[in-house]
Amino acid sequence: HMLILGGEPAANTLAFTADGTRLVVGRGAEYLDVWALPSGERVRVMGPLRDWSPHGFVLHPGGRVVFQAAEALTPLSLTNRP
């Protein structure tokens, strides 16, 4: 399978949740996307994010939170709830 972002900024960083049901993609300089697997449906777009480093994020082992490395470690929820 191939992830095509159709004219959007290229993916800089990819990470799978531990259960394999989500792919988290850091793209461009400001966005984080969450994709459902295996359907390939984008289920969440987060951004533009302030002080975002697309090369600096890590998933919590539970798969519901991603931590972005900026000036401070910032948790972001991956669920569809704000």
| Contact between 22 and 79 (Cβ < 8 Å) | no
| Contact between 60 and 67 (Cβ < 8 Å) | yes
Average of pLDDT values for 53-65?
77
Average of pLDDT values for 9-34?
85
Question: What confidence tier does 1 reach under pLDDT thresholds 50, 70, 90?
Answer: very low
Question: What confidence tier does 27 reach under pLDDT thresholds 50, 70, 90?
Answer: confident
Averaged pLDDT score across all residues of the chain: 78
Q: What is the DSSP letter of 70?
A: S
Report which secondary-structure segment, H or E, holds 62: none
Query: CA-CA distance, 19 to 25, in Å (whole number)?
Result: 16
pLDDT of residue 6: 65
